[in-house]
Every structure is written in C-alpha cells, then in structure tokens.
Amino acid sequence: MMAIVLAMAAATQLTRFLPFWLPSRWLDYPLVRTLKAGLPAAILLLLVVYSLKGTSLDQPPWGLPEALSLGLVIGLHLWRRNALLSIAGGTALYMAMVQTNLLNQLLGG
Amino acid sequence: MHPSVFQTSLPVAFGYVPLGMAFGVLLVGLGYDWWWAPVMGLVIYAGSAQFLAVSLLAAGAGVVDAFVATLLLNLRHVFYGLTVLDRYRALGWGQGYAVFGLTDETFSLLAGEPARERDRRFVLGVTGLNQGWWVAGCAVGALAGGSLPFHTQGLAFSLTALFAVLLVEQWKKQFQPIPAAGALAAAALCWFFLPGKYFLIASICLSSALLVAVPARGGRS
C-alpha cells in the first residue's frame, strides 16, 4: 500500500514539476508563447466539459439538470458578476433537481 | 478590490469537501485504516488519481501499473505548469509547494489572472487552503464511513460552476473565437470517443495542436 501511494505521488509530482525543469530558452519559442496565451481559456472550457463527463445524454433527464444549472451559473455571472452567487445559485438548482428527481417526474420518465 | 485568499478558495471547498469525503468512504470500504485517506490527500493530492487508486487497489494492481496509470492520468498538469510558469518562478522560496499543489482547481483559480502584490502570500495561501479542504474531506469521509447521510448529492457541481465562472471571466477579458471553437470541437470529439480518464489529456493536446495550427485572430493582450 505504501509503495503504491508513493509511486502515485511520484508520478503526479513528475507531471507537475516537469515544465519547471525545461531549459528556459525553450519557453521563448513562438509556439510555446502561443500555447501559454491560448491555453488557460481552452483548459477551463475543457474542465467544464470534463467535470460533466459522467452525464448520460441518451436517457431521461437527458442532461437537462446539468444544462439548466450551467445556464443559470453563466446567466447569473453575466448579470451580477459575483462568483460566489453564481456558483451557489447554480449548485443549489442542480442539487434540488437531482435530489428531488423533479425533471424525471415532469418528463414522465 | 481583489478577493481575499479565503474568498478565492471558498468555492473549491464546496467541491473538495464532498468529493474528498466520497473518496474516504470508498477507501475504507476496501478495508484500509481511515488514516490512509488523509495521508493520500497529503502525499498524492490529486483527486482523480486518488479515485483511480481506489480501483487500482481493489484490482490488486502493482506498483508499476499504478505509476504508469497515474502518469497518463495526470499528464495534463504539464500544460498547467507551462501556463503558470512565469508567475510561479517569481514566487521564490514558496515555489516548490505551489507546484506540488497545482491541481485542476488551483490552476483554474490562478491561471487567468496576473500576479498580485505580495503574490507569494496569495498563491501559497490559496494552494494550502485548497489542500486543507481536500485533506479534511478525505479524513471526515473515511472516519464516518458508510454512515453518512448523503444529502450532499450534487454538491460537487460547484466545481463545474467554478470552472464555468472562471471561463466567463476569461472570455470577458479577451474572447478569441477560433481557439474557443477549437477547444469545443476537441471536447465534443473526445466526449464521444474516449473514456473519462483520458478525456482531459487528449482534448488538451488536440486543443493545443489547433491553437498552434490556426493563428489566433483579433485581440491579443
């Protein structure tokens, strides 16, 4: 058990420290600069999708709780621009929908 | 005014505490002592890798298997380090811990914004507090075992919401339609053709290739 924990810790830290060991002149290549400029937004979008990966779209409620809650988060944030409010609002809606199974009942599923 | 360390880290708590608890419950379910859960949270500190560990341990996997599987799963961190490199290099002595604690969530909180005044205090504070939520969740879940009333179902959606809020903030600063469309296309492709554990690394590589291949148009800061 200890050996496995240490192996997984080593592998994780290898991936986290690797870029910091690269020769610093590599970091001035235009290719790397393009990546550094564009990656944050791209990765955030991919993290949003990834965190919803467990959703099944082909059976009721067809990912609707996720879509509606995500819509509320974005809408609230565009409106009030208060991160905690947007996150709390969207999460509360999501929890209410999955815990009461509301959409399934409405959709007759 | 900038939000404080606590305000910045709070949304992560809503995701890390229930997820850490779920991990703790699963781990003691395999018959391990409760303290393994917080120890893994301290030493490995990677949510998805720790859930992977549960299935590896359940399957009786070996050390080499665990190392390779974790490496593949966490390869995405290379891109995170690359993006925050300049900011982290400027931290000085706290750099090591900041890199150690560079999870998806800590990265997403820190990637989109420029360094602050007294940045070391801020970055180390957010990194440490985030890990604190996670380790606490692991410990509570493992101690409570299966006896938890799970009315927290759906609470981890707060991490999705956090990523979405930070994405909106990024887009408000600067929206580049072509990289955004590229990332969306990569996400869609990987959603349908790849299992969950390779989704992130594959879609990040694909998006990076698109970023490099298609020159960005419009606002460059």
B32 touches chain A (CB under 8 A): yes
Q: Tell me the C-alpha distance between A93 and A89, whole Å.
A: 6
Contacts 24+ apart (CB under 8 A), B73-77: B73/B48, B73/B49, B73/B197, B73/B201, B74/A11, B74/A12, B74/A15, B74/A16, B74/B46, B74/B48, B74/B49, B75/A15, B75/B201, B76/A15, B76/A43, B76/B104, B76/B200, B76/B201, B76/B204, B77/A12, B77/A15, B77/A16, B77/A18, B77/B102
- Mean pLDDT per 10-residue interval, chain B, length 221 residues: 88 92 91 96 94 90 92 93 93 95 95 88 97 97 80 85 93 86 93 84 92 65 41
Supply the pLDDT for residue A48.
Answer: 95
Q: Tell me the C-alpha distance between B221 and B214, whole Å.
A: 18
Supply the pLDDT for residue B219.
Answer: 44
Supply the pLDDT for residue A93.
Answer: 96
Supply the pLDDT for residue B1.
Answer: 63
CB under 8 Å to A75, separation ≥6 — which residues?
A: none
**From the CA of B165, how many Å to the nearest CA of chain A?**
6
Size of interface A-B (CB pairs under 8 A): 239
**Phi and psi of A42, rounded to 5°?**
-60, -45
Contact B75 A78 (CB under 8 A): no
Name chain A contacts of B219, Cβ cutoff 8 Å. none
Q: Tell me the C-alpha distance between A11 and A16, whole Å.
A: 9
Supply the pLDDT for residue B150.
Answer: 62
Q: Tell me the C-alpha distance between B80 and B175, whole Å.
A: 20
Reported as a single tens digit per residue, the pLDDT across A48-88 is 999 998 888 888 889 999 999 999 999 999 999 998 899 99
Nearest 10 degrees: Cα torsion A28, A30, A33, A39: -150
Q: Tell me the C-alpha distance between A34 and B83, whole Å.
A: 10
Q: For the whole model, what pTM was predicted?
A: 0.88
Examine the pLDDT at A37 and tell me if it is beyond 90.
no
